[in-house]
Structure 1
Amino acid sequence: MRIFALHSDRIWYRVREKAVASASEPEVPEASYQEVLVLFTAFETFDSELSIPRAVEAIKSIAERLGVTELVLYPWVHLTDQPAPFQQALDLYERLLKALKDAGFSTHRVPIGWYKEFEIKVKGHPLAESLRTIGPVELERPKEATEVREEEEEASRFVILYPDGREEEVTDWKNVEDEDLKIVVRNEVFGKPPSGREPAHIDLMRRLELVDYEPSSDVGHFRFYPEGTLVKRLIEDLAFDVARRLGAMEIETPLLYRLDDPAIASQAARFRERNYQIPTGKTTLILRFAGDFGLFSMMRDMNISYRDLPLSFYEISPSFRLEQRGECVGLRRLRAFTMPDIHSFVSDVEQGMEMYEKFFLEYHRLLKELGIEYAVVFRVVAKLYEKLKPDMLRMLSAVNKPALIEILPKMKHYWALKHEFQVVDTSEGNAQLSTVQLDVEDSERYGIFYVDRDGNRKPGVIVHTSMGSVERMIYAILETAAKASKRGAKPMLPLWLAPTQVRVIPVSPENIEYAVEIAKKLNELQIRADVDDRELTLAKRVREAERRWIPYIVVVGKKEQETGLLSIRRRSDGVEYSATLDDLVSEIKSETKERPFKPLNVPMRLSRRPVFVGSS
Structure 2
Amino acid sequence: MILLLIHASQFSYQVKEKAIEKAEEPEVRELSLENVLVVFTSVEKGDDDSTVEKAKESIMDVVKRVNATSVVIYPYAHLSQNLAEPSIALVMLRKLHERLREIGLNVSRAPFGWYKSFSLTCYGHPLSELSKRITNETEYQKSKELDVCHKFGFPYSPNASFMKAAIIERLKKLLNAKGVIYGNTEDVPEGYLVVNYVRPTGRLLPCVNEDPKLFCNYRGKGDFGLPETFSDSSNTYVLWTRKHENILRIDLGVLLYYFLLQSKKMNTPSLPLWLSPIHVRVLQIKGNPEAWKIGEEIMKRGLRVQVDDIDDSLGNKIRRAGTDWIPFVVIVGEREIKTGTLTVKIRETGEQRPMKLEELVQAVKAGDDLLLPQNVPLSLKEM
TM class by shorter-chain length?
A: 0.5 to 0.7
* Alignment counterpart, residue 527 of structure 1, candidates 290, 296, 303: 303
* Alignment counterpart, residue 205 of structure 1, candidates 149, 160, 185: 149
Equivalent residue for 1:179?
Answer: none
- Once the two structures are TM-superposed, the CA of residue 251 in structure 1 deviates from its matched residue by 5.2
- Once the two structures are TM-superposed, the CA of residue 334 in structure 1 deviates from its matched residue by 4.4
Q: Do 1:342 and 1:465's aligned partners in 2 also have CA atoms closer than 8 Å?
A: yes
Query: What amino acid sits opposite 1:607 in the alignment?
Result: K
Matching of residue 341 in structure 1 with residue 217 in structure 2:
yes
Matching of residue 232 in structure 1 with residue 164 in structure 2:
yes
Query: What amino acid sits opposite 1:569 in the alignment?
Result: K
Equivalent-residue separation in structure 2 for 1:565 and 1:322 (angstroms): 51
Q: Do 2:141 and 2:234's aligned partners in 1 also have CA atoms closer than 8 Å?
A: no
Matching of residue 431 in structure 1 with residue 363 in structure 2:
no
* Alignment counterpart, residue 281 of structure 2, candidates 492, 497, 503: 503
Q: Do 1:318 and 1:336's aligned partners in 2 also have CA atoms closer than 8 Å?
A: no
Equivalent residue for 2:229?
Answer: 422
Equivalent residue for 2:33?
Answer: none
Query: What amino acid sits opposite 1:503 in the alignment?
Result: R
Query: What amino acid sits opposite 1:495 in the alignment?
Result: L
Listed as ranges, the matches of 1:318-397 within 5 Å are 318-323=196-201, 325-326=202-203, 328-334=204-210, 336-344=212-220, 355=221, 359-360=222-223, 363-364=224-225, 367=226, 374=227
Equivalent residue for 2:352?
Answer: 576
Listed as ranges, the matches of 1:300-319 within 5 Å are 312-319=190-197
Listed as ranges, the matches of 1:20-419 within 5 Å are 143=74, 198-201=143-146, 203-209=147-153, 211-212=154-155, 224-243=156-175, 245-246=176-177, 248=178, 255=184, 291-292=185-186, 294-295=187-188, 312-323=190-201, 325-326=202-203, 328-334=204-210, 336-344=212-220, 355=221, 359-360=222-223, 363-364=224-225, 367=226, 374=227
Q: Do 1:532 and 1:541's aligned partners in 2 also have CA atoms closer than 8 Å?
A: yes
* Alignment counterpart, residue 606 of structure 1, candidates 362, 380, 383: 380
- Once the two structures are TM-superposed, the CA of residue 598 in structure 1 deviates from its matched residue by 2.2
Equivalent-residue separation in structure 1 for 2:294 and 2:373 (angstroms): 16
- Once the two structures are TM-superposed, the CA of residue 312 in structure 1 deviates from its matched residue by 1.5
Pair 1:572–1:545, CA change in 2 (3 A): same
- State the secondary structure of the residue aligned to 1:312: coil
Equivalent-residue separation in structure 1 for 2:350 and 2:305 (angstroms): 19
Pair 1:490–1:155, CA change in 2 (3 A): farther
Query: What amino acid sits opposite 2:242 in the alignment?
Result: V
Equivalent-residue separation in structure 2 for 1:542 and 1:524 (angstroms): 24
Q: Do 1:436 and 1:463's aligned partners in 2 also have CA atoms closer than 8 Å?
A: yes
Encode CA deviations 1:176-199: one digit per residue, 9 max, x unaligned: xxxxxxxxxxxxxxxx9x997624
Equivalent residue for 1:537?
Answer: 313
- Once the two structures are TM-superposed, the CA of residue 570 in structure 1 deviates from its matched residue by 0.4
Q: Do 2:341 and 2:354's aligned partners in 1 also have CA atoms closer than 8 Å?
A: yes
Equivalent-residue separation in structure 2 for 1:556 and 1:204 (angstroms): 30
Equivalent-residue separation in structure 2 for 1:241 and 1:537 (angstroms): 41
Encode CA deviations 1:544-602: one digit per residue, 9 max, x unaligned: 1000000011111111111112111101110111111121112112222xx22222211
- State the secondary structure of the residue aligned to 1:332: coil
Matching of residue 494 in structure 1 with residue 268 in structure 2:
no
Equivalent residue for 2:11?
Answer: none
Q: Do 1:234 and 1:597's aligned partners in 2 also have CA atoms closer than 8 Å?
A: no
Matching of residue 463 in structure 1 with residue 237 in structure 2:
no
Encode CA deviations 1:456-493: one digit per residue, 9 max, x unaligned: xxxxxx21114x23322221112222333xxxx01121
Equivalent-residue separation in structure 1 for 2:142 and 2:377 (angstroms): 36
Pair 1:529–1:204, CA change in 2 (3 A): same
Pair 1:575–1:317, CA change in 2 (3 A): same
- Once the two structures are TM-superposed, the CA of residue 329 in structure 1 deviates from its matched residue by 3.8
Equivalent-residue separation in structure 1 for 2:140 and 2:194 (angstroms): 34
Q: What is the aligned length?
A: 265
Equivalent-residue separation in structure 1 for 2:260 and 2:196 (angstroms): 22
Query: What amino acid sits opposite 1:546 in the alignment?
Result: G
Encode CA deviations 1:288-329: one digit per residue, 9 max, x unaligned: xxx52x44xxxxxxxxxxxxxxx8141433331553x24x54
- Once the two structures are TM-superposed, the CA of residue 239 in structure 1 deviates from its matched residue by 2.9
Pair 1:335–1:600, CA change in 2 (3 A): closer
Equivalent residue for 2:81?
Answer: none
Equivalent-residue separation in structure 2 for 1:436 and 1:465 (angstroms): 5
The structure richer in helix per residue is: 1
State the TM-score, normalized to the length of structure 1: 0.39
- Once the two structures are TM-superposed, the CA of residue 494 in structure 1 deviates from its matched residue by 0.4
Matching of residue 483 in structure 1 with residue 359 in structure 2:
no
Query: What amino acid sits opposite 2:207 in the alignment?
Result: L
* Alignment counterpart, residue 556 of structure 1, candidates 329, 332, 335: 332
Q: Do 2:198 and 2:215's aligned partners in 1 also have CA atoms closer than 8 Å?
A: no
Query: What amino acid sits opposite 1:424 in the alignment?
Result: S
CA root-mean-square deviation: 3.4
Query: What amino acid sits opposite 2:247 in the alignment?
Result: H
Among the aligned pairs, what percent are the same residue?
Answer: 22
Q: Do 1:341 and 1:465's aligned partners in 2 also have CA atoms closer than 8 Å?
A: yes
Equivalent residue for 1:103?
Answer: none
Pair 1:339–1:156, CA change in 2 (3 A): same
Q: Do 1:199 and 1:479's aligned partners in 2 also have CA atoms closer than 8 Å?
A: no
- State the secondary structure of the residue aligned to 1:200: helix
State the TM-score, normalized to the length of structure 2: 0.60
Pair 1:478–1:564, CA change in 2 (3 A): same
Encode CA deviations 1:248-302: one digit per residue, 9 max, x unaligned: 46556x53xxxxxxxxxxxxxxxxxxxxxxxxxxxxxxxxxxx52x44xxxxxxx
Matching of residue 546 in structure 1 with residue 322 in structure 2:
yes
Pair 1:544–1:476, CA change in 2 (3 A): same
Pair 1:237–1:231, CA change in 2 (3 A): same
Equivalent-residue separation in structure 2 for 1:478 and 1:207 (angstroms): 10
Equivalent residue for 1:104?
Answer: none
Structure 2, unaligned stretches of length 5 or more?
1-59, 63-71, 77-92, 105-137
Equivalent-residue separation in structure 1 for 2:207 and 2:269 (angstroms): 18
Equivalent-residue separation in structure 2 for 1:329 and 1:433 (angstroms): 16
- State the secondary structure of the residue aligned to 1:497: coil
